[in-house]
């Protein structure tokens, strides 16, 4: 509400009172505090999505490198045997690092659900042979998933699902549980 202010020289100046300005600032602060958790949730979703897509891009690169790499196999191996610390794409015979990804915090990969371990739980890796097929350490076909989660936002996750033919798909179990089977 504008209130005219009487000045000494009989002219009036229109303006807002301090109380009105404080009320507007309080309303804006309340609205901002209500929207902050939604913004944090959206940022967490975006971080998980970016890391999962980067992993899939590196896996697709590894598959292509195996298909067109003069008969040389390619692997994706976790850094220090932990996927959440990052991964490397290596050409197996020469141990040549083709791509690498460092620590992915605050995103983590659920180690129990990745399933890319050997028969005794060691030697986690995903290998691609010269036909582009994904193979486990023991030589069997891999058809499994990796679950990417956010460390600070509950319920934010993406599943990267690998078929035995080396094709990946990404799904959100909260939005489409049927596609994440």
- Residue 82: predicted pLDDT: 84
In angstroms, the CA 76 to CA 87 distance is 7
Identify the H or E element spanning 74. Answer: strand 74-79
In angstroms, the CA 93 to CA 25 distance is 65
Q: Which CATH architecture best describes the domain 14-171?
A: 3-Layer(bab) Sandwich (3.55)
- Residue 28: predicted pLDDT: 93
- Residue 116: predicted pLDDT: 56
- Is-contact 114 144, C-beta < 8 A? yes
In angstroms, the CA 156 to CA 154 distance is 6
- Residue 49: predicted pLDDT: 94
Domain locations in the chain as residue ranges: 14-171
Tokens (6 digits) for 74:
């390619």
- Give the distance from CA 180 to its chain's centroid: 16
Number of C-beta neighbours around residue 109 at 10 A: 23
Q: Tens digit of pLDDT per residue, the chain (181 long)?
A: 565 665 566 666 678 889 999 999 999 999 988 888 888 999 999 999 999 999 999 989 998 998 888 888 898 888 888 888 899 999 988 889 999 999 899 999 886 565 554 444 555 778 888 887 777 666 666 557 788 999 998 889 998 888 766 678 888 988 887 877 7
- Residue 139: predicted pLDDT: 65
In angstroms, the CA 134 to CA 170 distance is 17
Q: 60: exposed, middle or buried (C-beta count within 10 Å: 0-12, 13-18, 19+)?
A: middle
In angstroms, the CA 38 to CA 120 distance is 42
């Amino acid at each position: 509400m504008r209130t005219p202010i009487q000045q000494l020289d009989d002219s009036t100046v229109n303006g807002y009172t301090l109380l009105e300005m404080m009320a507007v600032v309080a309303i804006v602060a309340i609205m901002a505090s209500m929207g902050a958790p939604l913004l944090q949730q959206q940022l967490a979703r975006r971080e998980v999505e970016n890391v999962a897509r980067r992993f899939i891009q590196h896996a697709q690169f590894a598959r292509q490198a195996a298909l067109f790499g003069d008969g040389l196999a390619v692997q994706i191996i976790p850094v220090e045997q932990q996927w959440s610390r990052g991964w490397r794409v290596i050409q197996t015979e020469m141990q040549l690092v083709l791509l690498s990804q460092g620590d992915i915090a605050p995103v983590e990969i659920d180690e129990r659900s990745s399933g890319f371990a050997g028969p005794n739980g060691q030697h986690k890796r995903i290998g691609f042979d010269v036909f582009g097929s994904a193979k486990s350490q023991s030589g069997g076909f891999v058809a499994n998933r990796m679950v990417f989660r956010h460390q600070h936002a509950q319920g934010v996750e993406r599943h990267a699902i690998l078929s035995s033919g080396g094709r990946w798909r990404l799904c959100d179990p909260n939005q489409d549980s049927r596609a994440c089977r």
